[in-house]
Amino acid sequence: MCYGVPAVGAIVTSVLWNKTRNTRLGWLNLLFWGGALFGVIDHLWNKELFLISKNLASDLMLGAVITAVIFASWLFLVLADKKKPVAAECAKA
């Protein structure tokens, strides 16, 4: 079930992104969907029946850690994007 927590984040950000079409929120949405997909593939790879492991509490904690790392990565991307020089944007146009 480690995929459950990022999947909830993906669903929430999908709804929010459909209302706002905010690019940065779109990044977070894609990261959450990737984290959820990774969790499903991991469970299938380890042949865990119904995608649920033997220790549900540990699995949910892992999902929370994965979600926190995804959010921290997104925050880093947002901060890096804000520090992008304006001159570089003008040169592209």
Cα–Cα dist 53/76, whole Å: 31
CA-only gyration radius of the chain, Å = 16
- Assess contact for 73 and 9: CB atoms under 8 A: no
Q: What is the mean pLDDT of the chain?
A: 87
Q: What is the pLDDT of residues 34-78, one digit of tens each?
A: 999 998 898 888 877 666 777 888 888 999 999 999 999 999 999
pLDDT band of residue 32 (cuts 50, 70, 90) is very high
- Report domain extents, the chain: 4-92
Give the pLDDT of residue 91.
57
Give the pLDDT of residue 72.
98
